[in-house]
Structure 1
Amino acid sequence: MTIRSGEAEDAAAIADVHIRSWRAAYRGIVPDDALASLDHERLTRVWADRLTGEFTGPGAGVLVAERDDAVVAFAGFAPGDDPEWPEGGERRVVDLGTFYSVPEVWGSGANQGLAEAVHSAMARGPFDEAVLWVLSANPRARRFYEAQGWQDTGVEIEEELLGGTIMCPVSLYRRSIGRLPG
């Protein structure tokens, strides 16, 4: 398996992984019609924009995992406000906004390898802590993150998904990432 930085040319492959992952992991959590309506062309545009926008710059990035020259997993992270910081204050963290893989690599070690690479990349950024939100009803993802050193903060909110068409409870996780020389 190869792990590398994602590039704009990866947008279609990332969109494919995104859709396949959602349809497998969120079945029974997200309504079937919402999963069926995931649009590859729209997500390709979204990822092309993200790969040249919000996931660039200090403390941000997209990493892809390839097996046999095909993208099988990806993760995107970027600076964000600490969701537990008091209103009116400002504390920045790195937000692991996306981490998805095709079902064929679940349990193969591919996700662990990608997680290690993501943690190293985040540690080279300007922040000491990272956060992520995970669907509360997704025990597989929760176990995975906990095995990677993430801790459930006990904070749960309702989040709009798919442009606000559905609401799902999400749980906040936090991880110390330390800082490495850039």
Structure 2
Amino acid sequence: MKDFRFRKADLKDAPGLAHVHVHSWRTTYEGIVSGEYLQSLSIEEREQKWVQILSGSHHTYVCEQDNGEIVGFVSFGKERSGEYEGELYAIYLLEEYQGKGIGKELFGIAAIGLKKQGYNSMWIWVLKDNPSKHFYYTYKPELIKEEVLTLGGESHQEEGLLLKLH
């Protein structure tokens, strides 16, 4: 994929990760999650969280343009509840870079990374109304459960998907 580079994130990437995280939430969940909630998302707060994450052991990879601008990222590791093996924590792309194969590349980085950690499956949480959820279904995961997630005082259905890694 020319004009784009994929690499492990480091501490200096926190501002770019925060920018992608907040802006992709605002475009992806517009009309699904309340506009008030989406506008309340703070790039500064998200940057602080990324500084914490990147200061420790992590598996976060970025996609950047030749000019160094981060346009997407993926983060993964051990599944947090202990019920499953590996987990896709987050995968986000700026809206204008979606549909160009970047998400597929980032997803592949996560799948390979989880396999290298010894995991044979990937757990994924996705909002049921997320217009991009079809992306996950192209990998033929199994729908294991649904739960209610509260965002900005509103309830949203979330799907728990389990993908076998080959």
Tell me the TM-score normalized by structure 2.
0.89
Match for residue 4 of structure 1? 7
- 1:108 and 1:126 map into 2 onto residues whose CA distance is 30
TM-superposed CA distance for 1:154, in Å, is 4.5
**DSSP-derived class of the 1:139 partner:** coil
Residues 33 and 174 (structure 1), Cα distance of their counterparts in 2 relative to 1, 3 Å cut: same
Instruction: Kindly indicate whether residue 44 of structure 2 is the aligned counterpart of residue 52 of structure 1.
Output: no
- 1:131 and 1:150 map into 2 onto residues whose CA distance is 13
Pick from 125, 134, 145 the counterpart of residue 136 of structure 2. Answer: 145
Pick from 15, 31, 36 the counterpart of residue 39 of structure 2. Answer: 36
Pick from 154, 159, 163 the counterpart of residue 149 of structure 2. Answer: 159
Pick from 105, 110, 119 the counterpart of residue 118 of structure 1. Answer: 110
Match for residue 130 of structure 1? 122
**DSSP-derived class of the 2:109 partner:** helix
- 1:31 and 1:81 map into 2 onto residues whose CA distance is 27
TM-superposed CA distance for 1:92, in Å, is 4.2
Match for residue 67 of structure 1? 65
Q: Which runs of 5+ in 2 are unaligned?
A: none
The answer to whether the Cα contact below 8 Å between 1:5 and 1:63 also exists between their aligned partners in 2 is: yes
Q: Which amino acid letter does the alignment assign opposite residue 160 of structure 2? A: L
Percent of residue pairs bearing the same amino acid type: 25
Q: Which runs of 5+ in 1 are unaligned?
A: 83-89
- 1:81 and 1:38 map into 2 onto residues whose CA distance is 23
The answer to whether the Cα contact below 8 Å between 2:9 and 2:61 also exists between their aligned partners in 1 is: yes
Tell me the TM-score normalized by structure 1.
0.82
Pick from 18, 26, 33 the counterpart of residue 15 of structure 1. Answer: 18
Give the RMSD, CA atoms, in angstroms. 1.8
Q: String of CA shifts for 1:6-31, please: whole Å, max 9, x gaps.
A: 11111110000001100100001110
TM-superposed CA distance for 1:42, in Å, is 0.5
**DSSP-derived class of the 2:74 partner:** strand
- 2:38 and 2:59 map into 1 onto residues whose CA distance is 26
- 1:150 and 1:125 map into 2 onto residues whose CA distance is 22
**DSSP-derived class of the 1:18 partner:** helix
